[in-house]
């Protein structure tokens, strides 16, 4: 019993977030009013509002003056990176995730297409590769690097039903605060063509991203190849 060091508004945020994604509150319905939440959780309105603002910011609710807080699942632009998750990246088709490379500690690739800090380089990184498959067709190949800084027991965690980001946020208090990304349309080279099962020269969507977190010198780096023959990347933001 140690993690009770979280501020109250974050506890409420996590609680409401969990209830929203797990379906306790239906999409389109109203959250309890701010005053009700005050009473139930024994906090004041600014504190409750602080939590609700975070939910608005993350797209889980939409507030309307005079009415209330409307529940708005499914959010998460970041979904396309969740390790085995709900993923709003693609429609509602059946989606299967194949881990090509389980999280493993290694040194950073040299050269690396992003600039990394000395601190990050010194600690090494955790590396993983995934292939995502829809209806038997591979659509999504991604390569991820995260710095191996103060993440006890990380590689031994099971990532079943939990996204990488949820684990980082709830277990290690690491929150994604922003990022940079580069998008291109490329012709598939032989390796990518083979992985994604498309003809050489066919267009693939290429994404490079660096995600900043609330921890200094802790950025998440991803490279993504996407087969957009039959699907599109779909994002909410």
Partner DNA sequence: ATTTTCAACTTGTATTTACAAGTGGAAAAA
Partner DNA sequence: TTTTTCCACTTGTAAATACAAGTTGAAAAT
Interface residues toward DNA, by CB under 7 A? 7-10, 31, 33-36, 42-47, 49-50, 52, 63-69
How many CB atoms within 10 Å of residue 18?
12
Report the run of H or E that residue 220 belongs to, with start and end: strand 219-226
Site for its own copies in 86-145 (CB under 8 A): none
Told to check if 226 binds its own copies by CB under 8 A, we report yes
With contact defined as beta carbons under 8 Å apart, do 116 and 211 qualify? Answer: no
- Min separation Cβ 56 and DNA, Å: 8
Site map 74..93 versus its own copies, x via CB under 8 A: ---x----------------
Q: What does the DSSP assignment read for 81-135? A: G-SSS---SS-SS-EEEEEEEEEEEEPPPSS-SS---HHHHHH-EEEEEEEEEET
Closest CB to DNA among 73 and 132? 73
| Segments of 125-189 assigned E as strands | 125-134, 137-147, 176-187
Q: Which listed residue (12, 20, 204, 220) binds its own copies by CB under 8 A? A: 204
Told to check if 205 binds its own copies by CB under 8 A, we report yes
Among positive and negative, which fits the CA dihedral 74, 75, 79, 84?
negative
With contact defined as beta carbons under 8 Å apart, do 159 and 166 qualify? Answer: no
29 binds, among its own copies, DNA, none (CB under 5 to 8 A by kind): none
Site map 176..195 versus its own copies, x via CB under 8 A: -xxxxxxxxxxx--------
Instruction: Report the length, in residues, of the chain.
Output: 237
Closest CB to DNA among 34 and 142? 34
Closest CB to DNA among 61 and 90? 61
203 binds, among its own copies, DNA, none (CB under 5 to 8 A by kind): its own copies
Q: What backbone torsions phi and psi does residue 200 show, to the nearest 5 degrees?
A: -60, 135
Q: Which residues bind its own copies (CB under 8 A)?
A: 46, 53, 57, 59, 62, 77, 177-187, 202-206, 226, 228, 232-237
């Amino acid at each position: 019993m140690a993690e009770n060091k979280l501020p109250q508004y974050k506890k409420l945020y996590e609680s409401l977030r969990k209830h929203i994604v797990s379906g306790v509150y239906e999409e389109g319905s109203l959250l309890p009013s701010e005053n009700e939440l005050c009473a139930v959780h024994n906090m004041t309105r600014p504190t409750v509002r602080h939590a609700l603002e975070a939910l608005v910011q993350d797209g889980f609710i939409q507030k309307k003056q005079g009415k209330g807080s409307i529940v708005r699942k499914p959010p998460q632009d970041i979904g396309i990176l969740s390790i085995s998750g709900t993923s709003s990246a693609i429609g509602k088709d059946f989606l299967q995730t194949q881990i090509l490379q389980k999280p493993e500690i290694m040194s950073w690739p040299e050269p690396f297409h992003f600039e990394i800090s000395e601190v990050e380089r010194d600690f090494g990184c955790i590396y993983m590769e995934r292939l995502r498959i829809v209806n038997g067709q591979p659509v999504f190949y991604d390569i991820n690097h995260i710095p191996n800084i103060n993440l006890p027991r990380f590689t031994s965690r099971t990532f079943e039903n939990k996204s990488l980001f949820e684990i980082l946020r709830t277990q290690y208090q690491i929150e994604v605060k922003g990022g940079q990304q580069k998008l291109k349309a490329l012709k598939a080279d032989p390796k990518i063509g083979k992985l994604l099962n498309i003809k050489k020269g066919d267009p693939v969507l290429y994404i490079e991203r660096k995600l900043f977190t609330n921890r200094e010198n802790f950025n998440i780096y991803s490279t993504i190849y996407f087969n957009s023959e039959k699907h599109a990347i779909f994002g909410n933001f």
